[in-house]
Structure 1
Amino acid sequence: MNEKYSAEHIAYIAANIKGRSYPELTDMFNQQFGLGIKAKAMISLAFRHGLRNERDCRFNTGYEPTQFKKGHVPHNKGKKGTGGWEPTQFAKGHKPWNYRPVGSERTNADGYVEIKIADPRTWKGKHILLWEAAHGPVPKGHVVIFADGNHQNITLENLLLISRRELAVMNKRGLIANDVELTKAGVVIADIYLKIGERKRK
C-alpha cells in the first residue's frame, strides 16, 4: 500500500464510492481527512484497490455514466439509418415531393432559363440548347450570350457565340448593350483590344 494512504482512507473510499462521480468522492474524501488530492489521484487510488463507482465506464475525470451497459442490445441493431427510420420511407422508385421531370424549365438565381436534361439533377441553359441545336456543341473556351442583354429573350437571332477572352473585355469595357447591333459592334471592338494587347506583348 502507498504510505500516503492508510487503511482508514481505503475503507472510507470503499464505503462511499458506489454511485458517486470521482470529483464528488474526491471532495468528500478531502473534507473528511483534511487533504487536497485531485480527482485523477482518486481515480488512480480506486483503480489500484479494485474499487469501482459503478457509474463511470472510463477512468477519466468528469466522465459521466455510460448510457449502455455491457450486453445491452440497441433497439436499432441491424437497421440502416438513424432513429425514426421507417423501412418504407424511401421505397425503390420513390420520387421526392419537389421532383421535376426531364424537360421541366426553371429560372436560376442569375435569371437564366434552364431545362432539365437528365435525372437526378442535370440542368442546362435553354439558350445553350437552342444554339447547339442549330450549330452544334459550344466550342471549348467559348460562351453563348444574349445580344440584347435580356436573358428571357431566348431566340436564335438574339444569341451570339463569343470567346471567353472577348467576354472578359466586353464586361470590363461595358460593351454588352441592350441592343443587338450595338453588342455585335462591341464584339468587334473587343477583338481590336485583344489584338492591340497581343501586339504590345510581342
Structure 2
Amino acid sequence: INYTTDGYPKEKIGEPNQWVLKHRKVWEDHHGLIPKGYSIVFLDGDKTNYDISNLACLSKNEIARMNQNHLFTSNADLTKSGIGLTKLTNKIREVEKNG
C-alpha cells in the first residue's frame, strides 16, 4: 500500500501503474460499484481506517450539506446521525418542492 499526496491509502491492482484508492476498493468489494456522483466517506474522519464499518457512500449533494452544517466529526456515531439528518432534510425539501 502507498499513499496519495492527500494521505489516502492506495493499492496496486495491476501493471505497470494501476492503482485504486483502498477505501473505494473495500466499498466496492462489499457493495458493488459506486454510483456516478457519489463518493465514499470515512465516518470517523480517519483516511487510514478503511474498515467497511467506517465507510459510507454519499451523494455529492449530501457531502456538501454535511460540510455546510459541520456534521462530519471524528466520532463515527455522530457522523452517522448527521448523515441521517441530512438525508431526512433533503427528502423533506424534495417532498415540499414536488408536492
Instruction: Specify which of 2, 7, 23 is matched with residue 127 of structure 1.
Output: 23
Q: Which residue of 2 aligns with 1:195?
A: 91
What is the TM-score of this pair, normalised by structure 2?
Answer: 0.85
Q: Greater strand share, 1 or 2?
A: 2
Alignment of structure 1 residues 47-196 onto 2, 5 Å: 105-196=1-92
Superposed CA deviations along residues 135-159 of structure 1, whole A, max 9, x for unmatched, are 1111222211111000011211111
**Take 1:201 and 1:177, find their aligned partners in 2: how far apart are those partners?**
32
Alignment root-mean-square deviation, CA: 1.8
Q: How many residues align?
A: 98
3-state SS in 2 of match to 1:177: coil
Q: Greater helix percent: which structure?
A: 2
Report the TM-score, using the length of structure 1 for normalisation. 0.44
Give secondary structure in 2 for the equivalent of 1:127. helix
RCO (CA 8 Å, sep 6+): is it higher in 1 or 2?
2
